[in-house]
Amino acid sequence: MPVLAQLQHRPASPQLYSAGRMKELDSSIKLGKILGIPIGVHYSWIFVFVLFIFLLARQYSQSHLGWDAPQIWSTALVTTVLFFLSVVAHELSHSLLAVRKGIPVIGITLFVFGGVSQLSHEARRPMTEFLIAVVGPLTSILLAVVFGGLKFVLSPGNPQWEDVLLNPGRTSLEVISLHLAWINFSLGLFNLLPGFPLDGGRVLRAAVWGLSGSYWRGTQVAARAGQFLGGLMILGGLGLGWLYFGASFQGIWFALIGLFLFSAATASYRQERNRESMRVFRVADAFTTDWSSLPSETALGSPLVSHGLAGPEAVIGVLADNRIQGVVTRQNLALIPAGSSPFTTLGQVMVPLASLPSVGPSEGIYDALERMETEGLTRLAVVSDGRLLGFLNKEEVLRFMARRRRTSV
CB 63 within 8 A of CB 76: no
Residue 263 and residue 15: Cα distance in Å, rounded? 12
Can you give the pLDDT at residue 22? 42
Can you give the pLDDT at residue 185? 93
Can you give the pLDDT at residue 163? 44
Can you give the pLDDT at residue 122? 78
Q: What are phi and psi of 16, to 5 degrees?
A: -65, -45
Can you give the pLDDT at residue 97? 92
Q: Which residues contact 373 (CB under 8 A, 6 or more apart)?
A: 19, 20, 21, 394
What's this model's pTM, rounded to 2 decimal places? Answer: 0.69
Task: Tell me the domains of the chain and their CATH numbers.
Answer: 2-278 (no CATH), 283-408 (3.10.580.10)
Q: What is the mean pLDDT of each run of 10 residues along the chain (409 residues)?
A: 34 36 55 85 83 85 78 89 91 91 85 76 87 94 92 65 43 83 90 89 93 89 92 85 64 82 86 77 84 85 82 79 84 71 80 87 83 80 87 82 68
